[in-house]
Amino acid sequence: MASEITYAEVKFKNASPTAAVEVPTQTKKHEHHPQKYPPWLPWLISLLLLLVCIALVILLGRGWLCCPNGWKRFKKSCYYMSVDMMNWAESEQNCTAMGSHLVVINTTAEQTFLTEELQQSPRGRNYYIGLTAQALGQWQWVDQTPYNESAMFWRSGEPSNVAVEACVVIHTNPKIHNWNDIQCGNHYRICEAAALIV
């Protein structure tokens, strides 16, 4: 005789619903790809970095040229255009106290640079340079640089070679030949010093 089986659905109060179980899908294994660059490339990069470092050491070893605040640099020199006036002797003493001397102009390029800088100056017309007459017509630079006729920038008709005009100024004139011998009264000045290496 066959027995009957009865199934019943039973619900319990406060029972939590059955949590759904997630079965992780099978992950694809990462394949290992061989390097796509040649094995000598890291060595080449290291060599290039070493060369860059050597170049920087050489450049930094030489240093940079710089000037004190308020001075203008041209090539290996610094120039200071004064804002006050003094006579020639006081001007030279003032430059010396700053570790410089009144400017000694050696080349056309330097003369051109100073002429252009003075065009921007709102000050007076005359600036002392480091050239004086030790005796009538015997011109001498303050740093004992020999007086070179071919590197002189006198205005037309100058120097007048008069005993009372023993000092030299550069005019704020756009023409490159702008020196004038004058009496050694109060004028502005240009000091020159070697540029600092840092």
120 residue type, one letter: Q
pLDDT band at 198 (very low <50, low <70, confident <90, very high): confident
Residue spans of the domains in the chain: they are 80-197
Q: What pLDDT is attached to residue 133?
A: 95
| CATH node for 80-197 | 3.10.100.10
Say if residues 189 and 102 touch (Cβ distance below 8 Å). Answer: yes
Question: Comparing C-alpha atoms, which of 195, 67, 77, 76 is closest to residue 130?
Answer: 77
Within 10 A of 171 (CB to CB), how many other CB atoms are there?
Answer: 17
Say if residues 117 and 191 touch (Cβ distance below 8 Å). Answer: no
7-48 tens-digit pLDDT = 556 565 665 555 555 555 555 555 555 557 677 776 677 678
- In this structure, of 3-7, 37-41, 107-111, 120-124, the range with the lowest mean pLDDT score is 3-7
Question: Comparing C-alpha atoms, which of 182, 194, 162 is closest to residue 66?
Answer: 194
Question: Could you tell me the two tokens for 15?
Answer: 């029972």
**CA 184, CA 169: separation in Å to the nearest integer?**
9
Q: CA torsion sign, 141 to 78 to 69 to 126? A: positive
Q: What pLDDT is attached to residue 2?
A: 59
Question: Comparing C-alpha atoms, which of 71, 146, 142 is closest to residue 113?
Answer: 71
Say if residues 155 and 177 touch (Cβ distance below 8 Å). Answer: yes
pLDDT band at 89 (very low <50, low <70, confident <90, very high): very high
Residues in Cβ contact with 173 at an 8 Å cutoff, skipping those fewer than 6 apart: 115, 125, 155
Q: What pLDDT is attached to residue 62?
A: 65
Q: CA torsion sign, 84 to 90 to 92 to 94? A: negative
Question: Could you tell me the two tokens for 196?
Answer: 């600092």
45-58 tens-digit pLDDT = 767 877 776 666 56
Residues in Cβ contact with 129 at an 8 Å cutoff, skipping those fewer than 6 apart: 102, 103, 104, 105, 168, 169, 170, 179, 190
Q: What mean pLDDT do residues 95-116 have?
A: 96
Within 10 A of 126 (CB to CB), how many other CB atoms are there?
Answer: 22
pLDDT band at 164 (very low <50, low <70, confident <90, very high): very high
In this predicted structure, the answer to whether residue 68 has a pLDDT above a threshold of 60 is yes
Q: What pLDDT is attached to residue 149?
A: 83
